């Protein structure tokens, strides 16, 4: 009899523990992430994940959202390996049952989008900028795209009396598409000349063969659409070859500056304008806690993924729950965007999604002065 009671008590304890486990699991909101945590693009994975994790911390410290605690599940796609990303989506959808994934890099995002759409997984992109990302089901971008950045940068170059343009770009959709659909036709329409257009593989440190062809055309400026430290090595290589003309790159940070050193002068960076000094409490809370935890200052990528986790997803969860729906259902989460496509942002005010999945945000053309991105010209969109 005592043995039976002990057995029954053990079963009861197990059952209660199992129910508590299941209940805890049911009240977790898993967020997938496709980031390059290792390899030549690891800088981006570091800052993207850190921004997202601060968002998780802030939401959970406030008690979660509608009874759910957030949990970040990261897939490392290393050196922009699409197959690793697809395997990650498969695993995260089956094992972790993610309703949403944070995505980055154009090749990765475009490669994973069909699978995510088929599985009704909402994709929030804060890093990729290819024009091909627009009008894709379940894909929403909170990073300015090349469609938005290229025209103002070309106009800025034109106003500098630049007429002969050399182009170098990464040989994937992030570089090829904007060059072929934006840079070349827009520059030709303005009356300018393309002296050379050089595609390159990512992760190189010596771009001499590509830059020699550009130099032979005697350009007034160079338009670079590359990723990671490739940009810094291209700038450095061009300067070492005697090309001191203006160069525009998509991004710049302290890691790149360490490579380029003093060669980074006369370099321009069009892009999202995240002002870390804003007095907005939302901005200051993010900057303070990010710097305290990670011992570095947040950039636009950290800010974008913080926004996704702290300001966009919680609002979508609230909207779904308010209607009596299931926020773990990606289809319901995606539909909730359109009850009001405007969301708070650490950039100040609101970020608003457009029908094609892009978003409207502040844009600035920065100039590198003494190795620092310095606000140079504000761009306004009509």
Choosing among 3.40.50.2300, 3.40.50.300, 3.20.20.70, 1.10.274.10, the CATH entry for 146-274+364-379 is 3.40.50.2300
pLDDT at residue 282, rounded to an integer = 95
Is the pLDDT confidence value at 24 over 70?
no
pLDDT at residue 17, rounded to an integer = 35
Between 34 and 145, name the one with better pLDDT: 34
pTM: predicted TM-score of the whole model, two decimal places: 0.84
> 274: pLDDT confidence band, cut at 50, 70 and 90?
very high
Q: SS3 sequence, 33-76?
A: EEECCCCCCHHHHHHHHHHHHHHHHHHHHCCCECCEEEEEEEEE
Is the pLDDT confidence value at 11 over 90?
no
Domain boundaries, the chain: 11-144+277-362, 146-274+364-379
Which range is least confidently modeled, 14-18, 155-159, 216-220, 282-286?
14-18
Is the pLDDT confidence value at 5 over 50?
no
> 10: pLDDT confidence band, cut at 50, 70 and 90?
very low
The model's pLDDT over 207-247, given as tens digits with 9 standing for 90+, comes to 999 999 999 999 999 999 998 899 999 999 999 999 999 99
11-144+277-362 with 146-274+364-379: one CATH topology? yes
Between 297 and 6, name the one with better pLDDT: 297
The model's pLDDT over 334-371, given as tens digits with 9 standing for 90+, comes to 999 999 999 999 999 899 999 999 998 889 999 999 99
Q: What region, left, alpha or beta, does residue 319 occupy, with left being phi > 0 and alpha being psi -120 to 50 degrees?
A: alpha
Q: What is the mean pLDDT of residues 56-65?
A: 97
Kindly state the percentage of the chain with pLDDT values over 90. 84
Rounded to 5°, the CA angle 82-305-333 comes to 85
pLDDT at residue 331, rounded to an integer = 98
User: Quick one: 11-144+277-362 is in which CATH superfamily?
Assistant: Response regulator (3.40.50.2300)
Question: Do the Cβ atoms of 68 and 107 come closer than 8 Å?
Answer: no
pLDDT at residue 232, rounded to an integer = 97
Between 328 and 360, name the one with better pLDDT: 328
Task: Dihedral sign for Cα 119, 122, 124, 129, please.
Answer: positive
pLDDT at residue 280, rounded to an integer = 93
Task: Dihedral sign for Cα 319, 307, 57, 91, please.
Answer: positive
pLDDT at residue 381, rounded to an integer = 61
Task: Dig out the tokens for 166 from the structure.
Answer: 């050399």
pLDDT at residue 4, rounded to an integer = 37
Q: What is the mean pLDDT of residues 262-268?
A: 97
pLDDT at residue 379, rounded to an integer = 85
Between 129 and 193, name the one with better pLDDT: 193
- Supply the mean pLDDT for the chain: 91
Kindly state the percentage of the chain with pLDDT values over 70. 93
């Amino acid at each position: 009899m005592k043995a039976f009671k002990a057995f029954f008590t053990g079963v009861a304890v197990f059952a209660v523990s199992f129910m508590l486990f299941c209940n805890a699991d049911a009240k977790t909101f898993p967020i997938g992430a496709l980031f390059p945590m290792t390899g030549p693009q690891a800088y981006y994975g570091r800052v993207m994940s850190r921004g997202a994790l601060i968002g998780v911390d802030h939401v959970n410290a406030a008690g979660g959202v509608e009874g759910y605690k957030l949990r970040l599940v990261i897939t490392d796609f290393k050196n922009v390996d699409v197959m690793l990303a697809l395997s990650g989506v498969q695993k995260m959808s089956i094992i972790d049952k993610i309703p949403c994934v944070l995505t980055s890099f154009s090749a990765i995002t475009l490669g994973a989008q069909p699978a995510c759409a088929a599985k009704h997984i909402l994709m929030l992109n804060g890093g990729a900028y290819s024009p091909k990302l627009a009008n894709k089901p379940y894909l929403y971008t909170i990073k300015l795209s090349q469609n938005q950045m290229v025209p103002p940068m070309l106009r800025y170059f034109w106003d500098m009396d630049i007429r002969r343009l050399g182009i170098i770009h990464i040989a994937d959709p992030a570089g090829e598409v904007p060059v072929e659909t934006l840079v070349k036709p827009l520059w030709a329409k303005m009356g300018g000349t393309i002296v050379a257009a050089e595609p390159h593989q990512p992760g190189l440190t010596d771009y001499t063969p590509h830059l020699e062809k550009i130099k032979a055309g005697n350009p007034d400026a160079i338009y670079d659409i590359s990723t990671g430290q490739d940009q810094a090595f291209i700038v450095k290589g061009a300067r070492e070859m005697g090309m001191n003309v203006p160069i525009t790159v998509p991004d710049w940070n302290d890691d790149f500056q360490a490579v380029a050193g003093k060669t980074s002068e006369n370099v321009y960076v069009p892009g999202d304008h995240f002002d870390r000094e804003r007095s907005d409490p939302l901005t200051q809370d993010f900057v303070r806690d990010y710097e305290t935890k990670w011992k570095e200052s947040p950039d636009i990528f950290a800010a974008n993924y913080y926004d996704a986790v702290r300001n966009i997803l919680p609002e979508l969860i609230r909207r779904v729950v308010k209607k009596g729906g299931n926020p773990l259902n990606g289809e319901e989460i995606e539909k909730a965007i359109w009850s009001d496509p405007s969301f708070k942002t650490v950039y100040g005010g609101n970020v608003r999604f457009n029908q094609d999945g892009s978003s409207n945000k502040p844009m600035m053309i920065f100039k590198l002065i003494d190795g620092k991105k310095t606000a140079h010209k504000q761009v306004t969109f009509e």
